Amino acid sequence: MKSWPFLRAGDRVDIIAPASHGPLDRLAKGKAWLEAAGLKVHVPEKLIDPDLFFASELRAQVSQLQDALYSESRAIWCLRGGYGSMRLIPLLKKIRPPTKPKLFVGFSDVTALHLFFQQEWKWPTLHGRTIGQLSVDGTSPDLEELRQVLFGEVKKCDYTGLVPLNAAARKAGTIEGTMAGGNLKLLQTSIGTPWEVRPQGKLLFIEDVGERGYSIHRMLEQLRQAKLLRPRALLVGDLTDGVEKDGSDKTMDAIQRIADEVDFPVMSGFHSGHHPDRNRPMPLGVKGTLRLGKNPRLTSVLSP
């Protein structure tokens, strides 16, 4: 895996919209946050030109991504998720990677691109807030943490307050592995594609939104039957908006059922994902160390 590219004041950030479109006021707020952090922001002409489910037609999205990859920028930041990022991967399979890796930021549907960059180009990437979730008026502490991660003011991310969900997670010990994962639906969608998730021997992080308990279980069960659910540990982030018709929420019941059936540690309490008030940055493609037992902790190291 290549080195983590920390940013410096004055660096250029390219904004792309590889998935769905969104309100332009969110683009303005996100751009203002990046500029307040000391970065120069480049927004392509016609970033948003809605085409069915997508921010723009495929040719325009491909052009945006290709321009961003070969520009003088040091980072590529996604406007939002939704649906559509996987359509760009056939292009990526045909082109040469830039000489130096760029910091790629986003989450949700953008998980498809995270998987490609990590597995094919060996780039570390950052699972974190999209442009549409950035705001100079935001009060969530994870926004300051995100800024510190971007500029290398912190060289590692620590996650505490974790909850062991099975015997393997409660047993004292330490596990090391490369951080991988993202949106569970996209991990399932990758099965059988050239960018299929490869979590074997890694610390696999998952999160999702709008999926009820049975759907969470079904996705994990498919990964298991496809012989892909073989990580060193499973790290469960926020699973939001999965309420049943009767008002109950069985998402964590589904996770617990899987945890009881596997022999690797399953740990919850990672506050990354679609929660409306929080989305901690989760570095992927970097080394992670998971301490099990009492006072569990995950530390992911950002290598300059």
Range of the domain at 198: 156-301
- List the catalytic residue out of 20, 73, 85, 108: 108
> Could you tell me if residue 4 is inside a domain?
no
Q: What is the 3-state secondary structure (H, E, C) of the chain?
A: CCCCCCCCCCCEEEEECCCCCCCHHHHHHHHHHHHHCCCEEECCCCCCCCECCECCCHHHHHHHHHHHHHCCCCEEEECCCCCCHHHHHHHHCCCCCCCCCCEEEECHHHHHHHHHHHHHCCCCEEECCCHHHCCCCCCCHHHHHHHHHHCCCCCEEEECCCEECCHHHHCCEEEEEEEEEEEHHHHHHCCCCCCCCCCCCCEEEEEEECCCHHHHHHHHHHHHHCCCCCCCEEEEEEEECCECCCCCECHHHHHHHHHHHCCCCEEECCCCCCCCCCCCCEEECCEEEEEECCCCEEEEECCC
- Please confirm, yes or no, whether 21 is among the known catalytic residues: no
- Please confirm, yes or no, whether 85 is among the known catalytic residues: no
> Could you tell me if residue 145 is inside a domain?
no
Q: Answer yes or no: do 62 and 165 share one domain.
A: no
Q: Answer yes or no: do 216 and 294 share one domain.
A: yes
> Could you tell me if residue 286 is inside a domain?
yes
Q: Answer yes or no: do 278 and 224 share one domain.
A: yes
How confident is the prediction along the chain (304 residues), in pLDDT tens digits per residue?
Answer: 788 899 999 999 999 999 999 888 889 999 999 999 999 999 999 999 999 999 999 999 999 999 999 999 999 999 999 999 999 999 999 999 999 999 999 999 999 999 999 999 999 999 999 999 998 887 889 999 999 999 999 999 999 999 999 999 999 999 999 999 999 999 999 999 999 999 999 999 999 999 999 999 999 999 999 999 999 999 999 999 999 999 999 999 999 999 999 999 999 999 999 999 999 999 999 999 999 999 999 999 997 5
Q: Give the CATH number of the domain where residue 224 resides.
A: 3.50.30.60
| pTM of structure | 0.96
Instruction: Say how many domains are in the chain.
Output: 2
Q: Answer yes or no: do 229 and 175 share one domain.
A: yes
* Domain termination residue (choose one: 87, 103, 137): 137
- List the catalytic residue out of 272, 274, 275, 300: 274
- Please confirm, yes or no, whether 3 is among the known catalytic residues: no
Q: Give the CATH number of the domain where residue 17 resides.
A: 3.40.50.10740
